[in-house]
Each structure stands twice: as C-alpha cells, then as structure tokens.
Structure 1
Amino acid sequence: MTALPDDVPDTLRWRLEDIDLQAVDREAVAPRDDIFLLVCSASFIESGTDLYTRNLLEYFAGDPEFESWLRDRWEPEELQHGRALRAYVQTVWPEFDWEAAFADFFAEYSALCTLDELEPSRGRELVARCIVEMGTTTYYQALNAICDEPVLRDLSWRIRTDEVQHYKHFYHRFLSYRRSEGLGRSQVIAALWRRVAELRRSDADVALRHASAWRWRDSAETPALADVRQRLFDRMRTEYPIELAVRMIIKPLQLGPRLQRWAERPLSALARRVLLN
C-alpha cells in the first residue's frame, strides 16, 4: 500500500493506507474506458484543490474560523481524494503517464481557476460551493453504482461521504453570510442557477479532455471528445441520484421542511425526464 506524506493531518476521516490497493481486481476494471476516464479526470480536479484553496483563502480573508477549516480540513481531504484516485489509476493502468497528463491539465486549469471566477459576494460564493459539493457528492455516488470493482466502490463511497460533510459545512457558513449580507431568495436563486449551468463545463471538461487525449495518445483512432462525453453521460445518468441532487440544490433557498418536500417531487420528476429522455 502507498503511505501518505508526513504532513497529512491526523483529523482525516480515513487515510490512503485504508484503501487496499493490492486487492484491486485489475482484470475486471482495466478494460473499462468509462471507469478509467471517470476516475482519472476526477483525480486531476481533486489534485488541483490547492490552487482553488488559495483563491478561497484570499477571498475569505478575515474570517479566521472559515480560513482554518479550508486550510486544515477541506484542502487536506480534497488532496487526499486526488492522491487516492491517482493511486488507483496507477494501480490499474500503470502504463498511463499520470504525471504528464496532469501537468497538461493543470497548465490549462490554472489559467481558468482565478479569483475573477468567484461570485460577487461571500454569501453567493458559498451558494456556489454548495452546488459544487452537490455535484461531487452525486458524481461519486453514481460512480459507486456503476462500478463493480470492490476497492473502487469502497474508495468512491469514502470520497462521497467526505463531500457530503463539505456540503454541510459550506451550507452552514452560507447561512451566516446570508444574514449578514441580507441575501434575498432571488439572489440565491441567481447564484444557484449560474453554478448549476456551469457544472458540465470548465474544470470537468478540461480534465476529461486531457484524460482522453493521453489515454489514446498513441492510438491511430482517437475518439472525438463529444462522443466520449456523451458515452460517459449516458452511462452515469442511469444511476444518477436525482432526488439527492435536487434536495441539495434547493436547500439554500431555505423553503422550510414542508415547502421543500413539496418542491422536491416535481423538480425531481422534471430532472429525471431531462436526464433519461
């Protein structure tokens, strides 16, 4: 097994040492391009968390409690996700040059991940963070459902559990800024809408493009990115936890328990029609 660096805090809920990489069933998963692309692209994004953390620390300067959580909890856990996913890729696909592919990804990603991309106020940025954590939570839950390799199922569920906790922390911090900034529901809806509209763009698209390019780097026939993206979408949407996604999306609207339950059903039905038809 691969050990973690010495500077990883002891407060993590799990450690890479807990993932039994020696037990990976390589024969079962190695031929699956869909699993490779989903795991590899996720490993790129998670491994770039330190850049995003620097942006958030600068943006939330003067909020020591939140700065401490970002630096001491969120960043170490996200970077651990990247290390664990990278280790899985290198265990199953040792011929893949992860370092070179990540370097290409990061060169492009770092130009996109800037302070200018954040929302115009702290409260609205925390709404956006809730949507990002919703996206990662549901991503890893869907990945867990479509894979049948036991070690990856264990790993993806551990990461999914971390992402749920991150969502909860961003959400509770949002409540504080919502009061102090006097954010109305229309402003929250606007922030939600902007971030939901971006979920299938930007960093995820960049990561997938570089994972795909390096996967078929020496192949005579490289599949078109649009075809790769559509195949992955078709594969994931059958197991996508729609009800959970809707519940997490609308929670920042503070509708109240009864109204939230009333809103979840039609929104989930609409989302299911969009995804499955």
Structure 2
Amino acid sequence: MDYNPTSSWNVERLDFTRIDVARVRHDEDMFLLVCSASFVESGSDLYTRSLIAHFERDRELRDWLSQHWEREELQHGRALATYVRHVWPEFDWDGAFKGFLADYGAICTAAQLESSRGLELAARCVVETGTASLYRALNDLADEPVLRELTGCIKSDEVRHYKHFYQHFLRYREQEGLGRYRVFRAILRRVNEIRREDADMALRHVFNQCYPGQGVDEVAFRRVAARTQALLRQHMPAEMTMKMLLKPLALPARLQNALERPLTSLSRKLFLA
C-alpha cells in the first residue's frame, strides 16, 4: 500500500514560546474551538481501543491503529492542550477534561461501531472528513502564527488518516460485497452521530468550566454554540468536505459531478447543524 505511515511533525519541535499571546488571548471563540478540539483529540485513546478490538484479526490495520493513528491523535491533543495552557493559563484544562472524559468514555464503546468492518471504515472516512474540514477552517481562522502552523500540521495528518482508512475500506468493500446503499446508510449514521455528540459534548465541558454560574443555563450555552458554529461554517471548506464524503460511494463520474455543486452548499450544515 502506497502510504507514509508517520506524521512529518513532532510536538516537541514546536516552539510554543513564539506564540503571539496578545494576538489571540482575547479571542473567546478561538479559545472555545481550540480547547474543545483538544478535549476530543486527547480522548482518542478511548475510541482506539474499540477500533483495535473490532479489527483484531486484521493485523496490518490493527498495528497501524495502535502504533500510528492513536499516537498521532494523542499528539494532536497534547499540542492543542499545550497551546491552551500557554495562552489561557488561568483555565483549568485538567479539571474540565476530566469531566469531559467521563462523559466521552460512555459513548466510545463497541456498540457505536458498525457491525461490518467495511462499513465501519466508511464511517471512519466520515470522521476524518469532519476533522480535516475542522482544522482547515481553524487554520483559515487563525491569525496567530504558531496556531496556524499547528492547525496546518493537524489538518495534513487528518487528510492522511482519511486516505489510509479509505484504502482499507476499498479492500473490505470487495471482501464483504458492500453495495452503495449500505455504504450511504453508514455514512449518514456517522454524520448524525458526530452532529449529535462529540463536538457538542466537548464545547459543553469547556463552557461549564469557563462559566460555572451558567453551567445549567441551556440558553446561554446554545447561544455560544451557535456563535462558534456560525464562525466555523463561514470557513468550512465545503467543496473538499463534499468530495471526501462522496468518495466511498464510488458514484459514476457524471452523477458525482451533477451532485457535487448542489450538495456542496449543504455540506457546512452536515457537521455544524
């Protein structure tokens, strides 16, 4: 398989002392988005355990998940958490993350995975599409040089991860005889799960830590969530997102071309409803 399994950057090589703190410190929306992302990435080992068990008999994929994918995802979390601590040192990252991890662990179970390994790989393509699009948007939003460098590195990792999951999906699609309709249903299920759980959960725990007096104020939380989602929606790479989502369906070229334009306008709503 033509694939470079290792990331080209290392968190230890990033110089966080170069952060232009004054440029980003007062950007509350960027804080909420970066901190939320750091929570999800830092909890990725919970999800990896279920995936490794799911692909226990596939040594190649299992080893890649444990030796590369998990390590790179956790590196994303460490880098983002380090950035948060440098710019917003008063925020109790560890305390807020502990609460998030307790809730996140409850949904990172084998029951969340598709019963078919091939369909789970199609679903993984959805997740990697979402993360690649998120970091592309954050990279576009970032006005601070170190954050722009960091989000660019993570975005490149997520695109590589997508390509790797996709190559394995092609293999399983043939082995399991997966039809387009079943693949479409798996993609749709995972899109709905992402919208319903991951991002909302992480942002909620960041919000609760920042505003303990408003932790039960759903109206206040929804106001903040809507504001950050609207900001991301403006910078979401809609065309890239739609191409990545449609790819596992292997649509005829003419049909894909016909669908891409109208669906691109809807892609920002898929992950940010």
Contact 2:121/2:168 (<8 A) preserved: yes
Q: Quick one: distance in 2 between partners of 1:273 and 1:58?
A: 32
Q: Which amino acid aligns with 2:260?
A: E
Among candidates 251, 261, 264, match of residue 268 of structure 1:
264
From 62, 68, 73, give the equivalent of 1:73: 68
Displacement after TM superposition at 1:263 (Å) = 2.4
Answering whether residue 229 of structure 2 is matched by residue 225 of structure 1, we say: no
Q: Does 1:138 align with 2:147?
A: no
Moved more, 16-25 or 212-221: 212-221
Provide closer, same or farther for how the CA distance between residues 163 and 217 of structure 1 changes in structure 2, counting only shifts above 3 A: same
Comparing 263-272 with 216-225, greater Cα deviation is found at 216-225
- 1:204 maps onto 2:204 in alignment: no
Q: Residues 40 and 182 of structure 1: is their aligned pair in 2 closer, same or farther, counting only changes over 3 Å?
A: same
Secondary structure in 1 aligned to 2:114?
coil
What is residue 192 of structure 1 aligned with on the other side? Answer: 187
1:180 aligns with 2:153: no
What do the CA deviations read for 1:146-166 (whole angstroms, capped 9, x no partner)? 120111010001000000000
Task: Compute the displacement of 1:271 (Å).
Answer: 3.9
RMSD of aligned alpha carbons: 2.2
What one-letter code is carried by the residue in structure 1 that aligns with 2:67? D
Q: Which amino acid aligns with 2:205?
A: H
The TM-score, its normalising length taken from structure 1, stands at: 0.91
Residue 100 of structure 1: how far off its partner (Å): 0.7
Q: 2:249 is matched with which residue?
A: 253
Aligned ranges 1:79-90 → 2 under 5 Å? 79-90=74-85
Structure 2, unaligned runs of 5 or more: none
- Alignment of 1:18 with 2:9, yes or no, is no
The equivalent of 2:157 in structure 1 is 162
Higher mean displacement: 82-91 or 23-32: 23-32
Percentage identity across paired residues of the two chains: 52
Aligned residues: 267
Q: Structure 1: which 5+ runs fail to align?
A: 1-9
Closer/same/farther in 2, CA of residues 81 and 54 from structure 1, 3 Å limit: same
1:119 and 1:74 map into 2 onto residues whose CA distance is 19
Q: Which has the higher helix share?
A: 2
Secondary structure, counterpart of 1:238 in structure 2: helix
